Structures are given as structure tokens and as C-alpha cells.
Structure 1
Amino acid sequence: MRPLHASWLAVTPEPWKNGGGVTRTLSVDAARQPPRWRVSVADIDRDGPYSRFPGYDRVSVVLTGGGVELVADAADGAEVADAGRIRLAPGVATAFAGDAGFQSRLVHGPVRVLNLFVLRGAAAASVVCVGGGQSAVEAGGLAQDGAAMHMLRLVVAAQAGRLNQAAADASVALAAGDYVVDVSGVSCGIDARHAFAPAQPTARDGVAAVVLDVRVPAPAAV
């Protein structure tokens, strides 16, 4: 199956129930209910509540804007590190549990945030920010340790560049806002840190692209 190549700007936005922003779903696990994973881009315009996602781990990357501070609701503060505060900084992948409720505060105006959700015990993921923090951030977990895995890769371009593929001398031009979903997992053969080459140097505190590798148990042979 050929990878999907599209622009998140062409994805129909879904308004938040509280009116504080909109979300565009780039890819979701359609094979299971509840979904084992989902990737979306949210535009957050104002301070307000952050939705709970019980049983899910989240990884968020601020693509544009000054960042977001999350403050755990009083009843959940003890469950969250750093006295119940999480800082989502520009260009940095930040992992946290979706079980707790948060109130968000925008640091310097509206932001655009890439979000990954993975269902604990059913999926695991690794997230690398190209041009930002280079260390991989892990989320989720698999109950079937050691079982055969199916892998897929999503690359979300925050700025123009080229997607490097596993085949020799193969690359694909991506504009800012483009994303690629490779459900075949073929592109996972190249290291995530080298999967995207930005056309221009990345701005300080920015990110050129986000590479997300998701693992789920492979379907049983029939």
C-alpha cells in the first residue's frame, strides 16, 4: 500500500466542545474500537480545560506559538509530576498520561499542537522532533511483550523539506503542513532522526518535522 501524502490544512477541522479551539485528525486506528492510536493537530485559541483520555498516554509537540502550561485539576494533582504542572514547550515532545484533567494556559497567545494518543497495553510509540529535541520520547505500552509487531510511521512537516525513504536515493518533497502516513512500515527502515531533511535551518525553539513510529501487535495468521 502506498503511503498517504496529504496536507493537514486540507483536513476538515472539528471544533472543541468548549469552543477553545479546533482539531484536525491526521490518522486514526480504524481497525479497533476504542482506537489504539490517533494523531491530530489542534489549534488552541484561548485558556481552558484539557479533555481527559482515560487509559491513553499522550505526546504533545507545540509546532507554532509560545507554548502551553497545563495545571492538573485539584483532585488529580497528586497523580501528576512537578506539583501538577506540565509545560509544553515549542519544538519539544512531551509525554504525559491522559487520565488526569488539566486546565491549560497559553504562554504567549494561540498555539498549534501536534498530539499523539496511544492506548496503554494495546500500542506503543516513539516520537522524535527533527530540528528540535533529538531524543526519542516513548509512550504507551504493549501487554503482549515479545509478540510480532506491526509498525507504521507518520511524518508531519512543520516546515518544507524532504522525506528520506529506505530505498537508495529515494526522497519525497514535503511542504510545510504536509504529512505522510506509511501504514506499510517500509519507511521505518531509516532512523527517525534522519527521516526528514529541512530545506532551511530550523529556527531556535522550533521543529522542522515530527516523526512518529507506532507499534501494535501483528494480526494473527489465519
Structure 2
Amino acid sequence: MPLSFLTSELFFPPVSQAEPDGLLAVGGDLSPERILLAYRSGIFPWYEEEPILWWSPDPRFVLFPAELKISKSMRPFLNREKFRFSVDEDFQQVMKNCQQIPRLFQSGTWINKDMIQAYTSLHRMGYAHSAEAWQDGKLVGGLYGVKIGKVFFGESMFSHVSNASKFAFIKLVQLLAEKGVVLIDCQVYTEHLESLGARMISREEFMEIISKAMQAEG
């Protein structure tokens, strides 16, 4: 299927029309309304330079909270509270740290100023959230994403101290599980998240789960 080129109209094509690599559409904007529609449709933005690229990969990399794996090496960090955990204490700084962290095989970053502005707006609206790990009063690790209903769509994480991002992720997953979240979208494969229990499911299964889990937003 040919790629869809988005206009000002608030619209996305069916995810079944995505390219084999998951690319579905090009263009549009980063308005809160469009980003929320994207997540509700199983789509997310990911690009380095304009135009904006919209993706819906198949298979999809996800974590079911009940399948969270906590290694023996991580238990002392959780039991002794080597880090202090918080939620939404410094959303923008988490995004900026995710922007600046060097990543293997990537020369640039997709977290540009427009993305920071867009997700900060979503944060103010109560959709985007951050989880932080602190050590000696300093932000040393964290992650951010978007929560709609009983689904958390993870976006990016960073760590300046060994195990800080794992700590924040584990604590967040446990908190989300308490709140009834049934699925955490990790988007694409990483060895780091696989070690924590994430796995691939088909896009069809992913869409079925989120369509039900997002019906009761809160």
C-alpha cells in the first residue's frame, strides 16, 4: 500500500496499511489531539527531522505487568531503596535527559524541541507521565510515556547511574499494575526490556488488547 501523507485533517489510515517496517504515514502535526488519536489507533510518532513519521510495527514489543522479571541482582536496589522513586516530579527534565543520552547506532535524537513541547502539553493534560530515580538529590534515571485507560505507552528512558532506569521502570510497572494497567507498550525490541519480561505479540493482538483496555479512561 502507498504511504499516506497527512494533512491538517485529524485522520490516520488503518494500521493494516503500514509498510513491512511499520511505517504508516508521513506529515501532519504534533497537536495533543493527533498524538492521542495516534496512540488510540496503535500508532506512534518517531522521526529525527521533519516530516513527522508515524509507525505501527508488526509484531509489537510489549510487557504484561504480571510477566515483569526482577533479577536477583536488582532485588537489593529495590529492597534497600538505593534510589528514591517518584512519579511526575520533573517531567521535562526526564524528557531532556532522554534526549541527551547517547544511543548505540544513533547519531541524532528523535526527541526534538517540538516533541518536548508536545509531550509537555500532554503532561499538563494528565496523559503523559514520568517516573524518576533519584540519588543524593540528583535525577539519575527515569522514563516517560503516555497513559490512556489501562494502557501505558512507553516512550524513552535514560540512566546516568547503573541500574537507575531499571529501578524506575520496575517501580513504575508495579505501580501501574496496582492501578489496573494491563499492558505496557514498549514499541520496538530492546535487549534491556526483554530482560525485564517484554516480548513480541502480533499487531492484531495488540490492537485487540488496547481497544478494550482504553475504553475506561482514567
Tell whether the structures are fold-level matches, with TM greater than 0.5: no
Larger % of strand: which? 1
Q: TM-score, normalised by structure 2?
A: 0.26
Q: TM-score, normalised by structure 1?
A: 0.26
Larger % of helix: which? 2
